Each structure stands twice: as C-alpha cells, then as structure tokens.
Amino acid sequence: MKAPAKVLVFDLDGTLIDSDDALIAPFLELGIDRSDITFGHAVAEECQRLGISLDDYVDAYDVRIVQPFDGVAEVLTEIPRWSVFSNKHPRSGRAELNRLGWQPELVMFSDEFDWAHKRLGPVLERLQLTANDVVMIGDSLGDFNCAVEVGCDFAWAGWNPRVSSEQPEGLILEQPADLLGLL
C-alpha cells in the first residue's frame, strides 16, 4: 500500500451490501437459468448478454431486501471521505442508498459510464484526486481491474463469503473495521 488514502472508493454490490440474491432474483423471474448468471458486469451489458430488457430487470429488482454486510454501516460513519461507483442501475442503486441513509461524497452508477463497465478515472476526475489519493475496495475481478487501470491501491472485501472462499491475490480485508487502517 502507498501512503494512507484520502478517500475510500467502494463498489456497492457485494462490497458494501450483501446483494447477490437480490441481483439474481430478477434474472430468475425473467426466465434466465441460474447457471447462466455471473457477477461483476454492468447491468445493461449483462441484460443484453442474457437477452432481456434492462427496464424489465430493473422493474423486477426489489430495492427493499438488500442489507449491508455486518459491520459496514457502523464503519462508514467513521470514514471521513468515501464514494461509491457501481455497475448498478441508478434507480435501484439510489433507492438502496437512500433507504440505508448513506450519503457518500460522490455516487456514480452505470448511466454515468454510458451503461458500460464502470471506470475509476471519471471518479478520480470528479473528486479532483489522483490514484495515489484513493484506495478502491471491491469484490470482483472487474473491480480489481478498475484499480489497475488507474494505478491505485486495491483491497478485497473479504467479508463477502464469495471473496473469502476464492482467496484472490492481494490485500484481503477480513472485516469492515479493517478499512480504517487504510486511512
């Protein structure tokens, strides 16, 4: 790790919120076989790949059921500057952030990336920071690649059971409280 971070930049699904089941449910409801569903993609790209309408997916997504991983809500109150960027549709993402009462400094959803996979460069630009100023926290190879693309430090959300079972290379945070050591 470089010097302590000024800002922690988080992926949302699978990092801050335990949303795997909520993300899968609309696909299943729309007739997609569970074995065809994968994680870490922009929602519009995944809907296109699976041959379903993005609007139908978002209409079927239940924004009321997702909860933060244990310890996340508490630790976010101790982080002075944090932001979220996500492959999620803005309608469902903003609804979840509002329901949870979270107010990141900056929020960017898939519409701000032209519905393609999110990129960290525009986040840094909007925050007026460099890659040395941030640590990105995520749960997928796509998240990791966002950090590599701009050259910032990356930490895995090891509190997500999917991450802890895969044991990827790099810094794996065991619990949300470990985030405070990055600042």
What integer is the mean pLDDT of 129-136? 96
Q: What is the pLDDT of residue 71?
A: 98
Give yes or no: residues 116 and 47 share one domain.
no
Q: Both 54 and 139 in a single domain?
A: no
Same domain assignment for residues 46 and 87: no
Please indicate, yes or no, whether residues 31 and 120 belong to a single structural domain of this protein: no
Rounded to whole angstroms, how far apart are CA atoms 81 and 30?
38
Let me know how long the chain is: 183
pLDDT given for residue 91 in this prediction:
94
For position 78, which CATH number holds?
3.40.50.1000
The reported pLDDT for the residue numbered 112 is 94
Strand partners, 18: 67
Cα–Cα dist 5/11, whole Å: 16
Is the model's pLDDT at 113 over the cut of 80? yes
* Total count of domains within the chain: 2
Are 41 and 91 members of one domain?
Answer: no
Structural domain that includes position 108: 7-18+66-182
The pLDDT tens digits of the residues spanning 40-87 come to 778 888 899 999 999 999 999 999 999 999 999 999 999 999 999 999
Q: How would you classify the pairing of strands 7-10 and 82-85?
A: parallel
- 103 domain-assigned: yes
Do 41 and 115 lie in one domain? The reply is no
117 lies in the same domain as 127: yes
Cα gap 118→45, rounded to integer Å? 11
Q: Are residues 78 and 166 in the same domain?
A: yes
pLDDT at position 167, please? 84
Residue pair 160/31 in contact by the 8 Å Cβ criterion = no
Q: Give the tens place of pLDDT for each residue, 15-38.
A: 999 998 999 999 999 999 999 998
Q: Are residues 30 and 116 in the same domain?
A: no
Structural domain contains residue 1: no
91 and 171 assigned to the same domain? yes
Residue 173's pLDDT band (cuts 50, 70, 90): very high
113 in a domain, yes or no?
yes
| pLDDT at residue 39 in the model | 78
Give domain status of residue 156, yes or no. Answer: yes
Shared domain for 44 and 92, answered yes or no, is no
pLDDT for res 48: 93
pLDDT per position as a tens digit, 146-160: 999 999 999 999 999
